[in-house]
Amino acid sequence: DAGVIQSPRHEVTEMGQEVTLRCKPISGHNSLFWYRQTMMRGLELLIYFNNNVPIDDSGMPEDRFSAKMPNASFSTLKIQPSEPRDSAVYFCASTDLGGGAEAFFGQGTRLTVV
């Protein structure tokens, strides 16, 4: 398996633009997490899905952020409109709800909003 795949690896956009981050979890995994990493706030859990259903989105900072998981092999995190303070590394991770399994992380997307 190729692991968790995130795209793009790097994204530079102008303030006010829409940004879409993509994630393909490991095949067979049924739980998916989105995290944001910054120096100031560390690794924050934004939202997670079990069996494609959002379970907890309390970490989503504002209404500008939204996430979807239309099927078991794809998820998106969208920011509209983007702001400079959204600049961070965004990670996607997947795991098996069966228990005991660690979460496997993608390489992350470094987002810079100018």
Partner 1 sequence: AQTVTQSQPEMSVQEAETVTLSCTYDTSESDYYLFWYKQPPSRQMILVIRQEAYKQQNATENRFSVNFQKAAKSFSLKISDSQLGDAAMYFCAYRSREYGNKLVFGAGTILRVKS
Assess 112 for contact with partner 1 (CB under 8 A): no
Beta-bridge mates of residue 48:
33, 56
Question: Of 11, 25, 33, 86, which lies in the binding site for partner 1, with binding defined by CB under 8 A?
Answer: 33
CA gap 104, 67 in Å, rounded: 19
Q: Choose the stretch contacting partner 1; rule: CB under 8 A; options: 11-19, 28-36, 65-73, 76-84.
A: 28-36
Q: Choose the stretch contacting partner 1; rule: CB under 8 A; options: 16-24, 44-52, 61-69, 72-80.
A: 44-52
Contact 70, 52 (CB under 8 A): yes
Query: Residue 3 — left, alpha, or beta (φ > 0 → left; ψ -120 to 50 → alpha)?
Result: left
Contact 18, 81 (CB under 8 A): yes
The count of chain residues that interact with partner 1, using the rule CB under 8 A, is 22
CA gap 11, 1 in Å, rounded: 25
Assess 62 for contact with partner 1 (CB under 8 A): no
Residues that bind partner 1 (CB under 8 A): 31, 33, 35, 42-43, 45, 48, 50, 55-56, 89, 91, 93, 95, 97, 99-100, 102-103, 105, 107-108
